[in-house]
């Protein structure tokens, strides 16, 4: 097997040729004019082999400058002695098997006699796998709603139960008091921290009044609601507050202010023990003139108070 190819290569041109063959060895022969003096310019060839990865392979190298020198050619030297023969190369690969023609098929022989029938039936084959369940069918239409049955007769009304015993009448509270303060002619001036002098309660249960200390006293432990309204005279103003406890002392959260010819109402819830006191005082640092006198033939109150035990 060989390749015979004529290539025309321009000056300094590089060409690449790919050949594929399954050989253990190969030989390249390049033919150029052997008399360099007959040529205007010498012809020099460089050939390099490449591996499958594209790397240059030194064993396949042919460089003209290494064989002929890098000059433009001198006289042809004497032929050198023949070198020793190289080692014998490995045997070539075995050639392909020849493709002979297959002979014609012979004629069909006569049919043999039928053999005796086998004894007994053959074994039953294995049951095959269960097939895939088919798709659920479409739901049928809903049937027509039946007619409503006839309403049954109303049962007999049961007898009325016996009326329970009436409970005892409850009381408003187990302790309360209502009182007022007024003056028909004498001006009432409350000094700073002075208590209002209420009259004896007009209505009371359990709660007592002390005119000397000007305190109300509660009879038992419990929750008490206290409401008080005061009126002041024209041209004055004042601050009022509740006082509570065994002393009693001022309650700082219960403070109210009233100005000229005005009134103010205070409401507070107290948790008191038995015998604790409740009072109302001038909580400011100046005196306050209360609304007194007779108007339209009547004497109005300048203070009213209600105390009720609610729990």
Give tens-digit pLDDT for 205-224.
999 999 999 999 999 999 99
pLDDT digits (tens, 9 = 90+) for 3-23: 777 777 777 788 887 777 666
Angle at 182 between CA 181 and CA 183, to 5 degrees: 145
Distances, alpha carbon 307 to alpha carbons 23, 194, 247, 265, 276, in Å: 129, 20, 18, 14, 13
Q: Is the separation of the CB atoms in 178 and 202 below 8 Å?
A: yes
Q: What is the pLDDT of residue 61?
A: 62
Quote the pTM value.
0.46
């Amino acid at each position: 097997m060989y390749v015979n190819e004529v290539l025309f290569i321009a000056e300094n041109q590089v060409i690449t040729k790919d050949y594929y063959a399954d050989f253990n060895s190969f030989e390249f022969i390049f033919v150029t004019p052997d008399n360099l003096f007959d040529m205007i310019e010498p012809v020099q060839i460089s050939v390099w082999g490449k591996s499958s990865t594209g790397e240059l392979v030194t064993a396949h190298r042919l460089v003209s400058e290494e064989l002929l020198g890098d000059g433009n050619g001198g006289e042809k030297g004497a032929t050198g002695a023949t070198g020793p023969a190289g080692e014998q190369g490995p045997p070539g690969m075995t050639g392909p098997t020849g493709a002979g023609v297959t002979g014609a098929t012979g004629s069909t022989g006569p049919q043999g006699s039928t053999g005796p029938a086998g004894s007994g039936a053959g074994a039953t084959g294995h049951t095959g796998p269960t097939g895939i369940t088919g798709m659920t069918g479409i739901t049928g239409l809903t049937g027509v709603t039946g007619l409503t049955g006839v309403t049954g007769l109303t049962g007999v009304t049961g007898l009325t139960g016996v009326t329970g015993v009436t409970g005892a009448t409850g009381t408003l509270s187990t302790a309360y008091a209502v009182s007022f303060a007024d003056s028909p002619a004498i001006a009432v001036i409350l000094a700073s921290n002075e208590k209002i002098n209420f009259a004896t309660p007009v209505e009371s249960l359990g709660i007592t009044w002390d005119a000397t200390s000007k305190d109300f006293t509660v009879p038992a432990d419990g929750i008490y609601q206290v409401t008080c309204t005061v009126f002041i005279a024209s041209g004055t103003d004042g601050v009022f507050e509740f006082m509570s406890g065994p002393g009693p002392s001022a309650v700082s959260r219960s403070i109210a202010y009233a100005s000229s010819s005005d009134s103010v109402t205070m409401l507070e819830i107290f948790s008191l023990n038995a015998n604790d006191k409740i009072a109302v005082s001038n909580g400011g640092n100046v005196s306050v003139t209360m609304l007194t006198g007779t108007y339209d033939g009547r004497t109005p109150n300048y203070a009213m108070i209600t105390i009720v035990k609610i729990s």
